[in-house]
Copies of this chain bind each other. A is one copy, B any other.
Amino acid sequence: MKEKMVSMIRRIQEEICEMIQVLDESEYREDKWKRAEGGGGRSRVFSGGIVFEKAGVNISEVYGTLSEEAASNLAGGKIPSGKEREFFATGISLVLHPINPMAPTVHANYRYFERGDGATPGSWWFGGGADLTPSYLFTEDSSHFHRTYKDICDRHPVADYDEFKQNCDEYFFINHRNEHRGIGGIFFDGLDKIDKETCYTFVEECAEGFIDSYLPIIRRRKDMDFNSENKHWQRIRRGRYVEFNLVYDRGTKFGLTTNGRIESILMSLPETASWEYCHEPDVGSSEEEMLQALRFPKDWI
């Protein structure tokens, strides 16, 4: 499963980067990095193109021995020893921040984890999901995005769209603002139902579904008219994206405290963000409509 997953995420990274190259008329910068304790990754970041302000697609494959603390967190308080603390983790993570404020930011991430023998229940699991963060609300986009992932979930016995949609709403929540980061999608963790192969098939289809979920949206929005007020609002929303990622995101926190590659971890941050004191959108404006949707998650299907 390790090799299978690694090979799949490499292929998906290629496919998504090809999609971006064509859309964005630009080239990525690639950085291969090694982790002193074992493993490494391949980061590809686009900037300066015609569609994306910044877009990153990273893969990594790391292994080694968990610290007692990390191992006990994973084992629910027990401190596993010896072989039980050996781990392997691989995943793909991407964040695309478009230039056009009518086009939504998108994030997706799929990962596989093994601890110890990787054979007994609880020693392996999958995690991941995809979520959309618009600055302006287009119901058509939200519905299409959710529909794509619901259809995939519905085809797999290990997946439950309603549960994964709710996980996503709960996870991407900026508690101090009482706002969700975006309009959601799906999110799952610790997925170890039935067997590895069955879970893998679902995760693979989700990863393969990314282009279907996002390409029609970015095509519709990338050339829409916008003005400086729209850009201003986008920068305010990007400030909130930064707040979520730096204050709450578990992946970012894990990376910052485990000597991960900083530039790959913080690739998720937008190129520009703004904080304006007491910014409040006008009543009845499309900015206010967006905010309402971030305050009260909806069923988009």
Which residues of A line the B interface, CB within 8 A? 29, 31, 45, 47, 54, 56, 175-177, 235, 239, 242-243, 246-247, 256, 262-263, 265-267, 269-278
Q: Tell me which residues across on chain B come within 8 A of A276, comparing CB atoms.
A: 47, 271
| Distance of A268 from chain B, by nearest CB (Å) | 9
Are B274 and A29 within 8 A (Cβ)? no
| Closest residue of B by beta carbon distance from A253 | B247
Are A47 and B277 within 8 A (Cβ)? yes
Q: Tell me which residues across on chain B come within 8 A of A56, comparing CB atoms.
A: 277
On whether A177 and B262 interact (CB within 8 A), knowing A239-B269, A246-B243, A272-B272, the answer reads: yes
Q: Tell me which residues across on chain B come within 8 A of A239, comparing CB atoms.
A: 269, 273
Q: A176–B266 Cα gap in the complex (Å)? A: 10
Q: Tell me which residues across on chain B come within 8 A of A246, comparing CB atoms.
A: 242-243, 246-247
Most chain B beta-carbon neighbours within 10 Å: one of A54, A239, A273? A273
| Closest residue of B by beta carbon distance from A55 | B277
Q: A175–B255 Cα gap in the complex (Å)? A: 12
Q: A277–B267 Cα gap in the complex (Å)? A: 6
Are B247 and A278 within 8 A (Cβ)? no
Q: A266–B279 Cα gap in the complex (Å)? A: 12
| Distance of A202 from chain B, by nearest CB (Å) | 31
Are A54 and B277 within 8 A (Cβ)? yes
**Can you name 21 A-B pairs with beta carbons within 8 Å?**
A29-B277, A31-B278, A45-B278, A47-B276, A56-B277, A175-B256, A177-B262, A242-B242, A242-B246, A242-B273, A242-B275, A243-B266, A246-B247, A247-B247, A271-B274, A271-B275, A272-B273, A272-B274, A273-B273, A273-B274, A273-B275
